[in-house]
Structure 1
Amino acid sequence: MTESQSPLRLVGQPAAPQIERLERPSYAVYDGPVSVGGKVFRAGTWFHGIKHSHGDEAGQPFDLWICAPLHVDAETINSDDSSVGRLLRFKYRRKEVEHVMPMEALAGKGEEVLKALMRQGLEIDYTHRRYVPAYIASHYGLERVLATTTRPGWHDASGAFVLPSRIIGSADVRYQDSGKGALLFTERGTLTGWQTELAHYCQGNPVLILSVCCALAGPLLAKVGVNGGGVHLVGDSSSGKSLAQAMAASVWGNPGVFAASWDMSKGGIEIEAASRNDTVLILDEIKRADPKRVQEMAYAIANGTGKGTMTREREGRPKLYWRVLALSSGERSLSEHAAISGNTAHAGAELRMVDVNAGTRTYRAFDNVHDMTGAVFHRRLTTAAYQHFGHVGPAFVERLVQEKDQEQVYHRFTEIRELFEASSPQAGRVADRFAIIGLAGELAITYGLLPWPVQTAAHACRQLFQKWLASVGDGNAEDRQILTAIADFIALHGDSRFSDISAELPNPNVRQRAGYYEIEDRKRFYLFNRASLVEASNGYGRERIIRTLETYGVLAKTDAGRRQKNYRLPGGGSTRFFVVDPDRLDTERSSA
């Protein structure tokens, strides 16, 4: 029996719908059996053709089943690059599947289309597979037009929040991907299970509260105008940092899949950040990062813009963009890890990935283990994180979308931000980050998603921010680094590269001279030459260094109208030096 012949119909089986005639050649989609002129066509996508042979003007009709029912529902326009596509729909094991196909995939023989559809389960007649791209291409002038995006997160044009598996807030936008990426945003268990078995035990644990709220804060970045950045949990191995990150990952998906690693290139970081846009980027074990590139990667995460590249035709490829907060961990701080390669720590990188103590609290990373031992507490919550995940993040966004007064979110942010006192602009930016993390927690408490008392999240974030501020100071971070670097240079080379300026002859034991010292009232003042001043503060220009020294009163002696003082040299001659008061360096460093 051929595809077009009528199969036997069992008693009680409903008759197939009737169609009077077929247009040939044409494609048709039948969601169930259809009868045409006594022939029954089973469910599927059909090509009704007609073959003309020599001397046969009427031609011979033929019918080909090419695939399961495949609907072309709409034209799509990608909001990221304006490329055009088609929204395809079919069923796989009774589950409806949507696939956004870029029209460029139809170029050539259309093998990209076949791969994408077969990967997702569409049944295709292998012999007639060449008809599938042709069938899709036959749909043009579609009335329904949808927007698509290749990034998860907020879709500006529609106001929807896009996830690969669902769209929150609009029916007129779709997520478009290749289908080859990892399934990051997945669900398991229940929201109630997550609340009782995970969120409940965060209470009394500022590090866990911060981690969960950091994962929730991503959708708020665009709403309150706070830039991305990160929080870096610092503590010894097996201190509980990984549990904090697993709990954060469980907000959006499976912790074993959603969490990423520092062990990747800068390009890999860009891809991972973009795939988690407006959510959270979790990076474990900073020791696995390239020390030469780790600060550059921290800048990239916070700045939200990927590196520009070119095609073989020397045309610019679209850059990747993202807005995320990062939750990092490691046994070393960012600056300590960068120092392994000999790189000077950049204040900007440290501010973009701020350190949080997660190793020397009451129970290492924890403060309250809820009447359990540390090991039992850790094991119980780790197990729960892999049993209940992927619910609270989308639920949080659903409530944000339903907010009638979107300005109210910003007003609540300004209220919470007042709790985070900071004088300098740099500390203020870090305060913004802790405040928005606190805001996310307080909103989730208000929405009934976090089973904590009001102000729990804000107070925990404020506590950790104040500890960070006490450790680094509220001044300019670059100034602090310059002063510290010069103080360290003196501590290392005070006797090996400096000698007494009042000596009659130069000290022959001093090699690679950095300058001299002058003793007054049993106190040394260090006389730096121009080259050594820049060497001591590697990474900063001389003018920037001198400006810092002037600001903090470190330059002890100068000639009128100059920044230096002229001295007679041992053995004859004279030159000018920058005279540094080391006490001023120590005072600034200790007060920071």
Structure 2
Amino acid sequence: MSEATTTEDLAVLDEAPVNDPPRQRTAPAADPAPAPAPLLDIDGAEGSTADPFPDTSERPCWRVYDEWIERNGRKLRPGTYHHGMTKETERAPSAPVDTWICGPLHVQALTANTEDGDHGRLLRWKNVSGNWRQWAMPMELMAGDGAEVLAALLRDGLALERKMRARVLDYINSQQPRQRMRAASSTGWHAGAFVLPDQVLGADDIWFQASERTAPYGSAGTLQGWQSEVAALAVGNPMLALGISAALAGVLLEPLNIDGAGLHLFGDSSKGKTTILTAATSVWGGAQFRRTWRTTSNGLEGAARMHSGTLLALDEVGEVAPKDLYESAYALVNGHGKTRANVRGEARHVARWRTFVFSTGEVTIASRMAAGGFEAKAGQSLRLLDVPITGKHGAWDALHGRASGAALSDALRDGAARHYGHAGPAFVRALLDALAQGLDLPERLQAIQARMAATDGQETRGARVFALCALAGELAAGAGIVPWKAGCAAQAALHGFGLWRGQRGTGGRSAEDAAILRAVGDFIDRHGSSRFESMSAADAPRAVVNRAGYVSTSPSGTVYLFTSGGLREAAQGYDLARVLAALDTAGAFAKRGANGKTAATTRTPDGRTPRLYHVQPDRLMGAEEAEK
């Protein structure tokens, strides 16, 4: 259709389609009533034949008609029209021209975030099925040809005239409604309300507005069905109770001012790890809500932002490249991405999120990194806590009448496929009510954490993650969202904390100390006979390439005398001062220098007197023995 098309050329249908009850695309629970059509210029008098289209004094203009239009005895379809005038010529005066652009499409409000950024338009339209949809459209999508805007509208059923595609964008851009609404560009907490792509809990003037893809939140079945077929099976199965509690814990991160947290379940295949992850994802969505580690570090950042405020479920850590895992371990839990430059070399806005990461795999996070030659830092291991799978039947202790652990896993997967997406929003609503009544979350968290009796700062940090899960599970049980008795979630978290603490392999040391001692011990095992020159004159001289130090053997034992360069190489990634502190704490120095210094001046077979570090390898074995 062209601008010169008259109303006589518009499609005429015999009868209007039956309209279903309207519903929103991203609205609160109640469906909106269709907006009235005040734009019809009818005086209301019985038998009126007034023209519903605007007269020439009001043109050019846009009008939206939600219902069928009766004009000159003909029925014209509902929609968004451009009412213009033809250009006056010598042969013909200017005349009205009315062009149908698309189906009924209202620009209801202007949107922007609290910092007066992320501007957008709240669109509301009736789709080809007769249902109402809504979308907070970011204005940045209009910067180019607008194809993304049209794709989103068409995907949700807006009818439009293909030749008028550009006019649809012109119409949206021209509208300046008086109503203003707040925009949220990510899920999670915003100004006291909790935002999900399809609903906002706790406010009616905030809309989810994102230019990128969103996580597939969704629902099916009922909360009662989920409780009986999924959550009830966690009774007597602490690993499952911990997983479901972890799925709820992301909601508590911002109220407790915690950047993020994460658990990683590991163990042999077919033990029930993925089943626990499936049960956890059913808190927020269906099978598509669960992701895999098969992505890049940039992809993981994008996924974390899409799951902000809730759960990022990642299956099979063995599928991620060790380098990407090494780069992402900090970022996922710290809650911010890389700083990147725009085309002008300026720093772009850094992506931020708060999410609880729940991961599975056959190996630990550190082991997967080591497969690529990367030594896991203590900080990384304290952000994604490795928890070994245990149970009498794989991950299960109670079979709830099933014949085997496999049968219980099948029942859980079937239940999670039928019922999902109800527990998460229900937990948010219960938390909003509890906070309004004065719930002190930090005090409750501290009380649970104190029961774990952490022995040092690193254990305290780990204990907080398990306490966070316990608090979420206990609050959900108190609100009747999970059918558990009081204390069930806390016991599951204590069980998980004990498993994590037992497998750390630190021998009572800090994770950094244990890692340094292992690194130095491994270096001696690999290079002890090739890169350390003997201090004994009785030994036959041999060429030592790339010397790391010397070795002295006596009846009292063997001592390796490291050069400073050799020691730095042995514990790459750690400052020399930090390496020396770890060795000193372990009592690994066989000899000290003057004034208690860790390096001692030592005469070597060639007559030189360098300062060397005298390390007893048997003192490095504590961490290794603890792992055994």
* Alignment match of 2:359 (pick from 299, 305, 328): 328
Matched with 1:13 is: none
C-alpha separation in 1, matches of 2:15 and 2:120: 40
- Say whether 1:576 aligns with 2:611: yes
- Say whether 1:348 aligns with 2:379: yes
C-alpha separation in 2, matches of 1:445 and 1:103: 42
Distance 1:507 1:514, change over 3 A: farther
Q: How does 1:51-450 map to 2 (within 5 A)?
A: 51-55=86-90, 59-79=94-114, 82-92=117-127, 93-107=129-143, 110-140=146-176, 142-155=177-190, 158-178=191-211, 181=213, 184-255=216-287, 257-358=288-389, 360-372=390-402, 373-403=404-434, 404-405=436-437, 407-450=439-482
Distance 1:570 1:42, change over 3 A: closer
- Bigger drift between 318-327 and 436-445 goes to 318-327
Distance 1:462 1:41, change over 3 A: same
Q: Deviations over 1:558-591 (max 9, x none)?
A: 1222322233323544333211233432346546
C-alpha separation in 2, matches of 1:493 and 1:175: 58
Q: How does 1:552-567 map to 2 (within 5 A)?
A: 552-561=586-595, 562-567=597-602
- Bigger drift between 273-282 and 360-369 goes to 360-369
Distance 1:435 1:518, change over 3 A: same
Matched with 2:23 is: none
What code does the residue aligned with 2:394 have?
R
Distance 1:88 1:502, change over 3 A: same
8 Å Cα contact 1:50-1:60 kept in structure 2: yes
Distance 1:5 1:101, change over 3 A: closer
C-alpha separation in 1, matches of 2:388 and 2:580: 33
C-alpha separation in 1, matches of 2:254 and 2:106: 36
- Bigger drift between 381-390 and 123-132 goes to 123-132
> Percent of aligned positions with the same letter in both sequences?
38
Q: What SS class does the counterpart of residue 460 from structure 1 fall into?
A: helix
* C-alpha deviation, 1:324, in angstroms: 1.1
- Bigger drift between 204-213 and 510-519 goes to 510-519
Q: What SS class does the counterpart of residue 96 from structure 2 fall into?
A: strand
C-alpha separation in 2, matches of 1:507 and 1:232: 51
Segments of 5+ residues of structure 2 without an aligned counterpart are: 1-6, 17-39, 44-49
* C-alpha deviation, 1:521, in angstroms: 4.9
Distance 1:345 1:110, change over 3 A: closer
C-alpha separation in 1, matches of 2:366 and 2:12: 75
* C-alpha deviation, 1:112, in angstroms: 4.2
Equivalent residue pairs, number: 581
8 Å Cα contact 2:226-2:415 kept in structure 1: yes
* C-alpha deviation, 1:530, in angstroms: 1.8
- Bigger drift between 543-552 and 168-177 goes to 543-552
* Alignment match of 1:18 (pick from 42, 45, 48): 42
| TM-score, normalising length: structure 1 | 0.91
Distance 1:111 1:357, change over 3 A: closer
Q: Give the root-mean-square deviation of aligned CA atoms.
A: 2.7
8 Å Cα contact 1:252-1:258 kept in structure 2: yes
C-alpha separation in 1, matches of 2:391 and 2:166: 65
Q: Deviations over 1:356-407 (max 9, x none)?
A: 111x532222222223211211111112111111110111111112221455
* C-alpha deviation, 1:450, in angstroms: 0.8
- Bigger drift between 490-499 and 298-307 goes to 490-499
8 Å Cα contact 1:247-1:385 kept in structure 2: yes
8 Å Cα contact 1:504-1:570 kept in structure 2: no
Distance 1:8 1:553, change over 3 A: closer
What code does the residue aligned with 2:101 have?
I
Distance 1:314 1:56, change over 3 A: farther
What code does the residue aligned with 1:136 have?
I
Distance 1:57 1:464, change over 3 A: same
* C-alpha deviation, 1:36, in angstroms: 6.2
8 Å Cα contact 1:226-1:432 kept in structure 2: no
* C-alpha deviation, 1:261, in angstroms: 1.3
C-alpha separation in 2, matches of 1:128 and 1:117: 14
- Bigger drift between 425-434 and 446-455 goes to 425-434
C-alpha separation in 2, matches of 1:53 and 1:527: 99
* C-alpha deviation, 1:34, in angstroms: 4.2
Segments of 5+ residues of structure 1 without an aligned counterpart are: 11-15
* C-alpha deviation, 1:110, in angstroms: 4.5
C-alpha separation in 2, matches of 1:537 and 1:42: 75
Distance 1:4 1:244, change over 3 A: closer
8 Å Cα contact 1:48-1:62 kept in structure 2: yes
* C-alpha deviation, 1:292, in angstroms: 2.4
C-alpha separation in 1, matches of 2:286 and 2:15: 48
C-alpha separation in 2, matches of 1:444 and 1:394: 11
Q: How does 1:479-518 map to 2 (within 5 A)?
A: 479-498=513-532, 500-504=534-538, 507-508=541-542, 512-518=546-552
C-alpha separation in 2, matches of 1:499 and 1:136: 79
What code does the residue aligned with 2:42 have?
Q
C-alpha separation in 2, matches of 1:8 and 1:459: 67
* C-alpha deviation, 1:301, in angstroms: 0.5
* C-alpha deviation, 1:43, in angstroms: 2.2
- Say whether 1:477 aligns with 2:508: no
